[in-house]
Amino acid sequence: MQPQLWFNFTFLDNRYDLTPWLLLHGGSYLANAAITGTSWQVGFLAGAEKTFIQNKLSLQMGYISGHHSLSGSIVNMLFNITPRCQIYMGVLVPEQDSGNEFAGIIGFNFSTHNL
């Protein structure tokens, strides 16, 4: 029987609304070897979201520092179908020496509150 691996990604992220159409966020993280593929890692994360059409269309960008399997950047277009349902698509850009490949992203969010 294989031992259980627990993925741990603990982070503190602060958000600042620069304007009604541009928000910034950043913070630090701690991740264990099971999720980084190397060892326990401490680093920073940062990002921004630019709204093109209020409550409808946004561009989301994020970055996780390091040179391990968790690190890299994402760029997603977000489209709100309803106030509580959102779809998105984008790309994952791997950090140098992370061992990751470029990847496409597609997904959806459902919420009990307005997105």
Mean pLDDT for the stretch of residues 2-30: 94
Q: How confident is the model at residue 115 (pLDDT cuts 50, 70, 90)?
A: confident
What is residue 92's predicted lDDT score, i.e. its pLDDT?
95
Torsion sign across C-alpha atoms 73, 109, 8, 35:
negative
Interval 45-75: pLDDT, tens: 999 999 999 999 999 999 999 999 889 999 9
What is residue 47's predicted lDDT score, i.e. its pLDDT?
98
Cα-Cα end-to-end distance for the chain:
43
Place of tokens 């741990």: 8
Question: What CA–CA distance (Å, rounded) separates 31 from 61?
Answer: 21
Find out whether 51 and 78 touch, Cβ atoms under 8 Å: no
What is residue 107's predicted lDDT score, i.e. its pLDDT?
97
Which residues lie below 8 Å from residue 20, measured CB to CB, with a gap of 6+? 51, 54
Secondary structure of residue 111 in the 3-state scheme: coil
Q: How confident is the model at residue 98 (pLDDT cuts 50, 70, 90)?
A: confident
Whether pLDDT at 33 is above 90: yes
What's the mean per-residue pLDDT of the chain?
94
Mean pLDDT for the stretch of residues 29-43: 94
Question: What CA–CA distance (Å, rounded) separates 77 from 65?
Answer: 22
Amino acid at 27: G
